[in-house]
Amino acid sequence: MKYSKLIFLAASVLVLGACSSGKDTTGDSSDKQAASSTSTVKKQDAEKDKKSSQDTASESTDTKKEQNHEDKTLDQNVSYNGSYYSVKGKYDEILVVNKHYPLSASYNPGENATAKAELLKLIADMQAQGYAISDQYSGFRSYDTQTELYQNYVNQDGKAAADRYSARPGYSEHQTGLAFDLIDKNGNLVQEAGASQWLLNNAYKYGFIVRYLEGKEGSTGYMPESWHLRYIGQEAKEIAQSGKSLEEYFGITGGGYEDQ
C-alpha cells in the first residue's frame, strides 16, 4: 500500500527551614525534610510502578482482545485457521485479508516463494515489452513494520484519510507474503495508464489479480491501487475476468473496519 509514502519512513514509539529562639533546630529540620522528601519519592515511585503495571496489563488485554477471533461473525464460506481466514476456491484455499478479516499479530510467513517467482516473471515481461517497471518492489511486511507505517500515516494525514490507503496492523495483505506493490523506473508506484491496463489484462496469467479496483472501494475498503497485486494462483483468471473485487467474487464481507 502507498509505497511512495512508506520509503524510509521512520517510525516513533510511546514512553514513558525553620528556626527558633535560643535553640538550634537546623539539624532536626533537615532530618525531617529529608525524611519527608524520601517518603515523597518512594510514594511517587510506587505510583509509577502501579501505573506501569496497569498499562502493561491493559496492553496485554488489548492484544488478547485483538487476537481473540471467537466472537467474530464469519460468512458461511469463510474458515478461521488459527492465525488467518480463508475461503475455499475452485482449486485452492484462498487466504483472505481485509478490514473485516485480519491476521494474527504472530502470523509471519515471509515472502511466498511461488508468488515472488511469478512476480519476477511478470516484471521481466513488462520490461521486455517496453514498460518502465523497476526490478524493485514492495513485498512482505511484518505486523510490527505495518504498525510503524500506519501510525506515521495517521500522524501525517489523520486516521480517516490513512484508513483509505493504508491498512491497520494485522489487516495488511503485505503481511501474507502474497501481495506486491510495483514500482516504476522513477521510484514511484505504477500508475501510468498503459502499464495499469496491461496489469488488468495480463496479471492473471502469472496468478495475480489487481486487488483494489476502480469503483470498488465500497467492497474492498481501499481507494484504487493499480500497482497492488495479490497472488491467487490458478483462479486469478476467473476473478480478473469477472470484473469483481475479491470480496464480491467470493461473496464475503468487506468494506470498512467494524468500528467505522
Tell me the pLDDT tens digit for each residue of 10-20: 333 333 333 33
Span 142-171, pLDDT tens digits: 999 999 999 999 999 999 999 999 999 999
Q: How confident is the model at residue 70 (pLDDT cuts 50, 70, 90)?
A: low
Q: Supply 247's cell numbers.
A: 470480496
pLDDT of 188 over the 70 cut: yes
Q: Residue holding cell 484504487?
A: 224
212-219 long-range contacts, CB within 8 A, separation 24+:
212/245, 213/243, 213/245, 216/244, 216/245, 216/248, 217/164, 218/254, 218/255, 219/245, 219/247, 219/248, 219/254, 219/255
Residue 259 pLDDT: 87
Q: How confident is the model at residue 73 (pLDDT cuts 50, 70, 90)?
A: confident
Q: How confident is the model at residue 1 (pLDDT cuts 50, 70, 90)?
A: low
Burial class (CB in 10 A: 0-12, 13-18, 19+), 223: middle
Q: Supply 241's cell numbers.
A: 475476468
d(CA 206, CA 228): 14
Q: How confident is the model at residue 207 (pLDDT cuts 50, 70, 90)?
A: very high
pLDDT of 61 over the 80 cut: no
Q: Give me the chain's average pLDDT, please.
A: 82
Higher confidence at residue 39 or residue 84?
A: 84
The DSSP bridge pattern shows strands 208-212 and 225-231 to be antiparallel
CA 228 to chain centre: 14
Q: Which domains, ranges and CATH numbers included, belong to the chain? A: 78-250 (3.30.1380.10)
pTM score above 0.95: no
- Amino acid (1-letter code) at residue 197: Q
d(CA 250, CA 95): 12
Q: Please answer whether residues 209 and 228 qualify as being in contact, where contact means their C-beta atoms are separated by less than 8 angstroms.
A: no
Span 92-110, pLDDT tens digits: 999 999 999 999 999 999 9
Q: How confident is the model at residue 120 (pLDDT cuts 50, 70, 90)?
A: very high
Cα–Cα distances in angstroms (integers) from residue 38 to residues 31, 32, 193, 249, in the given order: 10, 10, 71, 68
Number of Cβ within a 10 Å radius of residue 254: 22
Residue 68 pLDDT: 54
Q: Residue holding cell 461473496?
A: 251
Instruction: Provide the angle, in degrees to the nearest 10, between the axes of the packed helices 113-128 and 193-202.
Output: 130
Cα–Cα distances in angstroms (integers) from residue 167 to residues 2, 41, 199, in the given order: 10, 44, 22
